[in-house]
Amino acid sequence: FAVSLNPASAAEPIPEIVERNGRYTLMVDNAPYLILAAQTNNSANYPAALPDVWPVVEKMQANTLVIPVAWEQVEPEEGEFDFSFVDTLIEQAREKQVRLVLLWFATWKNNAPHYAPSWVKLDNQRFPRVKTEDGETLNSLSPHYRSTLEADKRAFVQLMRHLKEVDEERTVITVQVQNEVGTYGSARDYSEKAEKIFRQPVPEKLLTDVNKEAGSWRKVFGEDADEFFHAWHIGRYVDEITAAGKAEYPLPMYVNVALRNPFNPGEPGQYSSGGATDNVIHIWKSAAPHIDMISPDIYFRDHKTATRVMELYAREDNPLYIAEIGNDQPYVRYIFDAMGHGALGFAPFGMDDTKYSNYPLGAERMDEKVIEPFAELYRVFGPMGSEWADISLNHRTWGFSEPVDTYKADGELWNAKGSDGEEKPEKDPEDYTQRQNLGDWTAEVTYGRPAFWIDPPQGNNPASGGAVIAELGEDEYLVVGHRARVSFSPSEELDGEKYLFERVEEGHFEDGEWVFERVWNGDQTDWGLNFIEQPHVLKVKLATYKTN
Ligand code: N0T
């Protein structure tokens, strides 16, 4: 009859990723959790920066803050640990009722050991760097030294032990291990030590996992041997640190990836070699079984490349989580594709008011114009985050975003290439039309057309539309859309049948239940479901009817 407040049982369950038939969700406090995050700029990991962080998190309506914790700040002197920043951060996050994803910046922060303490990054004897084929020393630590691994691991273990002690509330829900690992400027380490290891046979485990016959790296993997070797060894290194951290406190852990362009990859070393780029995901899966997800950092602005990346990283053996995405307007709509792939979350990068901008990756300047487009969608997905995460664990989902990029109006950017061809003299409505077979029904999504009547789609300017559809049951779908028209017609199975919307409800979710607000009918449904300025959540029931 009375609720017991026994502190021993007050701890919430530890967050975990659960899988069902190749679909995933993150469980936080026993409920599915959708990460709608803001990620800070890099150097926001000090108490003095936090006052510039929270206002943006709040304006953006983010439920999660993604922020670094640096090795250099927690172990400035070897063996002496200081978690005061982590404590301050957790305390403030609780006040703001925001969850945290911590980024462990250590051996690798984009190739370099810049975030390692001085006693590490200045001691090349004890913590050797990668050597190129020409014997040049790069500013990227080699994965082949126990000394480096043990030092990083010890600090990470302390961090996880500390979190376990101070965070029974589970304010921290996930940890990223390292940041965009890999090496620029060489496919792998060619030092004497590395050469020795390279000449040994490929490890059994890898052979079994990728189904290859025994042999040397060169013999088994040919041209790819150098890169695969580096990926394997970085993967093993990160996995050992991850496993040790999880042994203290088993939060979900992931790595993020400095992507290679899937259509025009270039050579390893031109992109971050050894990181889990799309060509080595299988090597990483074998090398790092304690890593729960391999997560892309999307800085390709164009639709074709951004959506291709999601296809490559949303796998049955890998939940999609958008670890970073540029914060400029063109990227916003890709949240719909992420949701369609059942993503665990979405974390636009550079969302703070420290007056920094990583343009041309993200927006030129941080202001309300950058925040509001994300906030607009977070306001819709936020209140239904748990319900959506549950739906997407259990049901098929499809995401759509406006396919024709409009950035060219502002001149071309180096990271905006990859779209097909030149601009056409006349707009082809087909370019602004996406069709998806959902089973009995086919969905059609079009962009930039008047809400009333049949005028062909012309695209929005700027491209900003999107929609996500979840199959709730037979002939029943949940649709969230923005600046798009969504229509349904019978697929082959129902071909030729007369059909209509039996009922379209606008509503929202509360405590897991659908709350009906009103029926959409007449102009609101006669030409399809027209999502205009404001995103809406609709529950759609389709039906066929017989005429005799
Ligand atoms: C990201 C961020 C931060 C399409 C860049 C992206 C973050 C790191 N690196 O602001 O440094 O910590 O993960 C590298 C993108 C390379 C160019 C991609 C072209």
**Residues 57-82, mean pLDDT to the nearest whole number:** 98
Least confident piece of the model among 113-127, 271-285, 419-433, 515-529: 419-433
Please enumerate in sequence order all residues whose Cβ is within 8 A of that of 394, keeping only pairs 6 or more positions apart, or say none.
20, 23
User: What atom of ligand 1 comes closest to residue 256's alpha carbon?
Assistant: 13
C-beta 324 within 6 A of ligand 1: yes
C-beta 104 within 6 A of ligand 1: no
What's the burial of 7, exposed, middle or buried (CB within 10 Å: 0-12/13-18/19+)? Answer: exposed
CB 485 within 8 A of CB 528: yes
C-beta 41 within 6 A of ligand 1: no
What average pLDDT does the chain have?
A: 95
User: What atom of ligand 1 comes closest to residue 42's alpha carbon?
Assistant: 12
Residue 242 tokens, joined = 């991850």
CB 193 within 8 A of CB 200: no
User: What atom of ligand 1 comes closest to residue 300's alpha carbon?
Assistant: 4
Do you know the residue count of the chain?
548
pLDDT of residue 417: 56
**Residues 468-489, mean pLDDT to the nearest whole number:** 98
Evaluate the omega torsion of the peptide bond into residue 360 and state whether it is cis, within 30 degrees of 0: yes
Q: Give the mutation target among 102, 111, 358, 407 for probing the ligand 1 site: most ligand atoms within 8 A of CB.
A: 358
User: What atom of ligand 1 comes closest to residue 259's alpha carbon?
Assistant: 18
**Residues 401-422, mean pLDDT to the nearest whole number:** 67
Q: Give the mutation target among 67, 110, 300 for probing the ligand 1 site: most ligand atoms within 8 A of CB.
A: 110
Residue given tokens 């390893």 in the structure block? 268
Residue 339 has pLDDT above 50, yes or no: yes
Residue 167 has pLDDT above 60, yes or no: yes
Q: Ligand 1 centroid vs 100 CA: distance in angstroms?
A: 20
C-beta 297 within 6 A of ligand 1: yes
Residue 253 has pLDDT above 70, yes or no: yes
Write the single-letter amino acid at 473: G
Residue 2 has pLDDT above 50, yes or no: no
**Residues 439-467, mean pLDDT to the nearest whole number:** 96
C-beta 277 within 6 A of ligand 1: no
Question: Strands (DSSP E) along 259-344, which ranges?
Answer: 293-298, 322-325
Q: Ligand 1 centroid vs 19 CA: distance in angstroms?
A: 29
- Residue 80's alpha-carbon distances to 69, 72, 165, 212, in angstroms, are 16, 11, 18, 45
Nearest residue (by CA) to ligand 1, atom 6, is 258
Q: Tell me 125's DSSP state.
A: T
Q: Ligand 1 centroid vs 110 CA: distance in angstroms?
A: 8
Of the candidates 74, 99, 98, 72, the residue with the CA atom closest to the CA atom of residue 86: 74
Residue 415 has pLDDT above 80, yes or no: no
Q: What is the pLDDT of residues 214-249, one digit of tens each?
A: 999 999 999 999 999 999 999 999 999 999 999 999
Evaluate the omega torsion of the peptide bond into residue 462 and state whether it is cis, within 30 degrees of 0: yes
Q: Ligand 1 centroid vs 255 CA: distance in angstroms?
A: 14
Residue 329 has pLDDT above 80, yes or no: yes
* pLDDT tier, 284 (very low <50, low <70, confident <90, very high otherwise): very high
pLDDT of residue 496: 87
Q: Ligand 1 centroid vs 372 CA: distance in angstroms?
A: 23
Q: Ligand 1 centroid vs 325 CA: distance in angstroms?
A: 9
**Residues 184-208, mean pLDDT to the nearest whole number:** 98
3 vs 429, higher pLDDT: 429
Tell me how far apart the alpha carbons of residues 293 and 193 are, in angstroms, rounded to a whole number: 30
Q: Ligand 1 centroid vs 26 CA: distance in angstroms?
A: 25
- Residue 436's alpha-carbon distances to 9, 395, 439, 452, 470, in angstroms, are 48, 16, 9, 23, 12
Q: Ligand 1 centroid vs 88 CA: distance in angstroms?
A: 27
Residue 111 has pLDDT above 50, yes or no: yes
* pLDDT tier, 409 (very low <50, low <70, confident <90, very high otherwise): very low
Residue 494 has pLDDT above 90, yes or no: no
**Residues 120-147, mean pLDDT to the nearest whole number:** 98
* pLDDT tier, 543 (very low <50, low <70, confident <90, very high otherwise): very high
C-beta 361 within 6 A of ligand 1: yes
Q: What is the pLDDT of residues 14-56, one digit of tens each?
A: 999 999 999 999 999 999 999 999 999 999 999 999 999 999 9
Residue 424 has pLDDT above 80, yes or no: no
Tell me how far apart the alpha carbons of residues 531 and 537 are, in angstroms, rounded to a whole number: 10
Tell me how far apart the alpha carbons of residues 106 and 178 are, in angstroms, rounded to a whole number: 6
Q: Ligand 1 centroid vs 258 CA: distance in angstroms?
A: 7
Q: Give the mutation target among 256, 297, 354, 366 for probing the ligand 1 site: most ligand atoms within 8 A of CB.
A: 297
Q: Ligand 1 centroid vs 335 CA: distance in angstroms?
A: 19
pLDDT of residue 460: 96
Percentage of the chain beyond pLDDT 70 is 95
Residue 477 has pLDDT above 50, yes or no: yes
**Residues 128-144, mean pLDDT to the nearest whole number:** 98
pLDDT of residue 83: 98
* pLDDT tier, 426 (very low <50, low <70, confident <90, very high otherwise): confident
Residue 1 has pLDDT above 90, yes or no: no
The DSSP string of 170-205 is --EEEEEEEES-SBSS-SS--SHHHHHHHHSBPPHH
Tell me how far apart the alpha carbons of residues 506 and 202 are, in angstroms, rounded to a whole number: 57
Residue 309 has pLDDT above 90, yes or no: yes
Least confident piece of the model among 198-212, 310-324, 419-433, 454-468: 419-433
C-beta 258 within 6 A of ligand 1: yes
Residue 262 has pLDDT above 70, yes or no: yes
Residue 522's region, left for phi above 0, alpha for psi from -120 to 50, else beta, is left
pLDDT of residue 301: 94
Tell me how far apart the alpha carbons of residues 280 and 277 are, in angstroms, rounded to a whole number: 6
Question: Which helix or strand (DSSP H or E) is residue 340 part of?
Answer: helix 334-340
Helices 192-199 and 225-248 cross at an angle (nearest 10°) of 100
**Residues 341-346, mean pLDDT to the nearest whole number:** 98
